[in-house]
Structure 1
Amino acid sequence: MDFYLNALGSVLSAAPLLAMVGATLLGVFIGALPGLNPVMAIALLLPLTYSMDPLVALGMVAGIYNGSMYGGAIPAILLRIPGTPASIATTFDGFPMADKGEAAKALKIACWSSAVGGIASALALMTMGPLLARVTLFFGPAEYFWIAIFGMASVGVMVGSDPVKGVMAAVLGLLIGTIGIDNLSGQARFTFDQTWLLGGLDLIVVLVGLYALPPVLQLAEKCDLKGLSADQLKLTNVPFAPGEKRGLIPTWLRSSGIGIGVGILPGAGGNIAAFLSYNAARNASDDPDSFGRGNPQGVAAAECGNNADNAASMIPALSLGIPGNVVAALVLSALTIHGLQPGPQLFHQNPVLVGGFMMEMLITSILIFALGGAVATRVFAQFQRLPGVLLVPSILILMCVGVYVINGRPVDLWVMLAAGIAGYFLEKVNVPLAPIILGMILGPMAEQSVRRALLISRGDATELLTRPISALLAVMTILVIVWPVAKAMRRRKRQRQS
């Protein structure tokens, strides 16, 4: 408890509070506009946080993340267009409710469900994160090496539809992470006599390129010249019917548990949590045939499940340095920007910062209750009247300004452009982008840890496997790679035979 009481005063000061309120509203707006997503917004935000207090920067990240996950329900319900990938399951019953004239009710259920899932997830982070960090005090260089390898392997095979492509993406990120001066030997690697490469490729520049530019290019492809009309967005607030909230409680509890469990798994994501929660709600229902036809339980399950994934994905990120999803990887990048090393030592070296960020995830989830419903039904839904062609140049300008201010180097703009074009075409061939970033983050950690372990053991490589925790992590790494690959091979074999 002292861990959080020490951070409470810092979190409740004026600057972090204003950052959380403004970022939560901004997140709802981002989620409400199809084509924008929290990953893009946070990637654009990170270059601007260099001069900010870390708690202010992380409060903005938390607000955008939680706000946008709810905001994605707005176009999912009104247009049957998911604002975020995690909102796909919300369309199943949200749009039929809107089609029956119950759009305001569906949005209110989505708002409450998102807040409940986010609060449950934040409480799980606050209780499980410090406990996991204490266990990792027994870790040495060998254990950190296997943690990094396990993180890259698990995300590589779990993200995307093809495990082989995921592993290839992780290896690509690992190779990119080797560019620059080797920290142990001082040798320059893959710099091609270019002095600007001595420090390696800037993680934030690559992040902005990979995650912000491809959606902008896709938005430009659609060439949306018209938005929705005002008549399509006439919404009025409606109260819950007597006993309606009580009837949603079992769904909220079930979906929160599923979302938290999925969030802890590296690479799973809110879309998986939403689908699993939706299916669980349907299986538990006395009238499963009503799902897909405007059942409020379906909206509640999907929104509660995808928001319960949010803070839970930070548990392995903050405790082990293994991001549970792409946003968690961006949070690790934000910590790195401010000179902090993600992982177990973070809890001991910067307890106020870690405890403060956990509380910010909780506070921004609570803010959805206060801000989400009224703002969504009366204000941010109206932003869907904006044509997509107006968003493209605005986002491009923000990207260029944000990247340039990082180092003040024009070459970073070319790196961003190259990363963005590469990301655009990689997505076209279904290569996931998350493993590339995670390879850049975890690759140097794996390399330095294994070399330190070998120095300590005087070159005896068996030391990497003789310690119990190292052996367990090695077995888990092998299983997480072999099992999905074997399943994919069997599936392809059956397809060829049929």
Structure 2
Amino acid sequence: MDILNGLLLGLESALQPVTLMYCFIGVFVGTLIGVLPGIGALATISLLLPITYHIPPTAAIVMLAGVYYGAQYGGSTASILLNLPGTPSSAVACLDGYPMAKQGRAGVALFMTTIASFVGSMLGILALILFAPGIAELGLKFGPAEYFSMMLLGLIAASTLASGSPAKGLAMVVMGLLIGTVGTDVNSGVARFDFGVPELMDGINLVALAMGVFGVSEVITGINQSRETEVKEKITLRTMTPTRKDVKDSIIPMLRGTAIGSFFGALPGTGASIASFFSYAVEKKVAKDPSRFGKGAIEGVTAPEAANNAASQTAFVPTLSLGIPGDAVMALMLGALIIHGIQPGPLLMTQQPELFWGLIVSFGIGNIMLMILNLPMIGLWVAILRIPYRVLFPAILVFISLGVYSVNNNPFDVLMVAGVGAVGYAMSVTKFEAAPMLLGFVLGPLMEENLRRALLLSRGDMMTFVDRPISAGLLAFGAALMVWTIYGSLKRNLREREHRRDFPEETT
């Protein structure tokens, strides 16, 4: 079946009233749980999974998929307004989205993230349609050595996420790596660095870590500064409309973010969080003025949003075409397919064409629904900033506690997020940024697992990482990036030293 006939068949399936209804339910619920910090798509899909027994297969998968990519839309809302990531992949939106809100540009930030999410999703769907077989084939060529090299490249890029000293960025990456080692060793099953606390045997919760270093630390900062509400004027279409410069600065970053998200989404074991961090690091590296990032750079918001939404679409490539789930959410989607007697794999497209193409077309319909839903609600979300902070911060803490508790139903996670919040506040006071630490925490365990797996397969031969062409290319690119970063830092220090020598009166 060619692509055109497949899309026509999918359109017929996706436009069925039952399928449309469940598509709307999915994207609406996804947006809500994305806005509510910490709950996430995983917990919501887990709760909705039993309902799918009583729903036709196509409608059931469309609804669950709508929850997944709908959460990516809503996740940036709390990040921008309250510095509180709604989903782990939207933590990057805090870095420049929240400064934009503090500058009175929350409406513009939300408007542009909605557009970026739509562009990233639709182009991701296009990549899914055109390149699914090729992307799946490339994914099969990635073994443990390639994954390790790619993660190492990510950690080198992570050290550039900090807006200040590269040394501080590297220190935060190492801290993230150390935090990632807490928990049970995947290979040996031995608990590591749990300090006799049984709850730490499962490791530190990513949601608790993100909510603590971004959300709780911001609450403490806001209380200490007696922060007043930032938005006083009425939110109108004019206040939400981006400037021509905003649009110009966002077009190419959105396309780059979409390409990065499409690639990482199609690789098993990576996903939207890694895609959004990579996209942010790339934009900061190619920017003419990197010092703008962390202070309200529009491309620091739009590129990661396009990346995580594109990744949420192409994440279905390995799940549908190979039967390999890329993350926990995709594992649940795989389970939902199996519940209905559908076996994912290379034959799914030919054996279940209505389901496959109906799902693809529903992605496009769902994203149109999401844009129509989200744009009119921007004024409502921004109105949150009118609430006096003395009233708002207790509600934020309640949402954080509920969100963190709902992930594992474990009170220990609530205590953990309080402790992490105190550490996050100390980091903000001492100018250590949380983003590199968070990426180190995400990538560290994956890198360790693939390092050990590659060495087991090669019987301890370290040359396996340079013998394989893709792995060697990634390592070479990482080395070049490191040399570029060091050279840029030395050049900047030399320029500052010459400036102080030529204008000594400015330093006194």
Which category describes the TM-score, using the shorter chain as reference length? 0.5 to 0.7
Code of the residue aligned with 1:442 in structure 2: it is L
Q: CA deviation at 1:423?
A: 1.6
Shift of 1:466: 0.9
- Higher mean displacement: 135-144 or 429-438: 429-438
TM-score (norm 2): 0.65
Larger mean Cα displacement after TM superposition, 182-191 or 459-468: 182-191
Q: TM-score, normalised by structure 1?
A: 0.66
Q: Measure, in 2, the Cα distance between the counterparts of 1:450 and 1:220.
A: 44
Q: Please say if residues 141 and 453 of structure 1, whose CA atoms lie closer than 8 Å, have aligned partners that are also in contact.
A: yes
Kept in 2, the 8 Å contact 1:171–1:439? The answer is: yes
Q: Deviations over 1:77-99 (max 9, x none)?
A: xxxxx99824867999x98xxxx
Taking the TM superposition and a 5 Å limit, the aligned residue runs for 1:420-435 are 420-435=421-436
Superposed displacement of residue 397, structure 1: 1.2
Residue of structure 2 in register with 1:182 after alignment: 185
Corresponding residue of 1:167: 170
> Please, which of 59, 72, 83 is the counterpart of residue 62 of structure 1?
72
Which residue is 1:38 aligned to? none
- Please list the CA deviations of residues 342-373 of structure 1 after superposition, one character each: whole Å capped at 9, or x if unmatched: xxxxx969999999999888667634653455
Map of 2:60 onto structure 1 = none
Find the aligned partners of 1:408 and 1:114 in 2 and give their Cα distance: 31
Superimposed CA distance per residue, residues 246-272 of structure 1 (whole angstroms, 9 cap, x where no aligned partner): x97x99588423322256386466799
Q: For the residues of structure 2 that align with 1:472 and 1:254, how far apart are their CA atoms?
A: 30
What letter matches 1:494 in structure 2?
R
Q: Deviations over 1:304-339 (max 9, x none)?
A: 994465233455788799xxxxxxxxxx87738959
Verify: 1:312 aligned to 2:307, yes or no.
yes
Which whole-Å CA distance do the structure 1 matches of 2:27 and 2:206 have between them?
Answer: 25
What does residue 390 of structure 2 align with?
A: 389
Partner letter of residue 479 of structure 1?
A: A
In 1, the alpha carbon distance for the partners of 2:416 and 2:284 equals 35
Trace 1:226-245 onto structure 2 (pairs within 5 A): 232-233=233-234, 235=236
Contact map agreement 1:47 1:402 (CA 8 A) in 2: no
- How far, CA to CA, are the matches of 1:391 and 1:122 in structure 2? 32
TM-superposed CA distance for 1:472, in Å, is 0.5
Structure 1 unaligned regions, length at least 5 = 31-40, 73-81, 96-105, 280-301, 322-331, 342-346
Contact 2:118 2:371 in 1 (8 A): no
CA distance in 1, matches of 2:285, 2:448: 37
Could you tell me which amino acid in structure 2 is paired with residue 135 of structure 1? L
- Counterparts in 2 of 1:284-363, with a 5 A limit? 306-307=301-302, 309-313=304-308, 335=329, 338=332
Task: Compute the displacement of 1:64 (Å).
Answer: 0.6
Choose which of 18, 26, 38 in structure 2 pairs with 1:43: 38
Cα distance between partner residues in 2 of 1:165 and 1:189: 26
- Amino acid paired to 2:221: Q
Matched, 1:260 2:261: no
- Rate the CA distance shift 1:125–1:336 in 2: closer, same or farther, 3 A: closer
Give the Å deviation of 1:119: 3.1
Match for residue 216 of structure 2? 213
**Following TM superposition, by how much is the alpha carbon of 1:450 offset from its aligned partner in structure 2, in angstroms?**
1.4
Over 3 Å counting, the alpha-carbon distance change for 1:193 and 1:24 in structure 2 is closer
Name structure 2 gaps, 5 residues minimum: 50-63, 83-92, 261-274, 290-296, 317-325, 336-343, 501-508
How many equivalent pairs are there?
A: 419
Distance (whole Å) between structure 2 residues aligned to residue 360 and residue 71 of structure 1: 30
- Residues 39 and 406, structure 2, Cα contact 8 Å, conserved in 1: no
Encode CA deviations 1:113-162: one digit per residue, 9 max, x unaligned. 66554433223322346454432221111111111111222122234333
Matches of 1:380 and 1:371 in 2, distance apart? 12
Give the corresponding residue for 2:487. Answer: 486
Counterpart residue type for residue 51 of structure 1:
L
Confirm whether residue 20 of structure 1 aligns to residue 27 of structure 2: yes
In structure 1, what is the Cα distance between the partners aligned to 2:367 and 2:454?
Answer: 42
Would you say the 8 A contact 2:153–2:474 is kept in 1?
yes
- The corresponding residue for 2:368 is 366
Provide the residue aligned with 1:85 in structure 2.
Answer: 96
Change (3 A) 1:155 1:195: same
- Partner Cα distance (1:274, 1:157) in 2: 8
Q: CA RMSD in A?
A: 5.0
Aligned to 1:124: 123
CA distance in 2, matches of 1:251, 1:208: 29
Cα displacement (A) at 1:396:
0.7
1:317/1:133 CA distance change after superposition, 3 Å: farther
Q: Does 1:466 align with 2:460?
A: no
> SS in structure 1 opposite 2:160?
helix
Distance 1:358 1:221, change over 3 A: farther
Greater CA deviation, 220-229 or 56-65?
A: 220-229
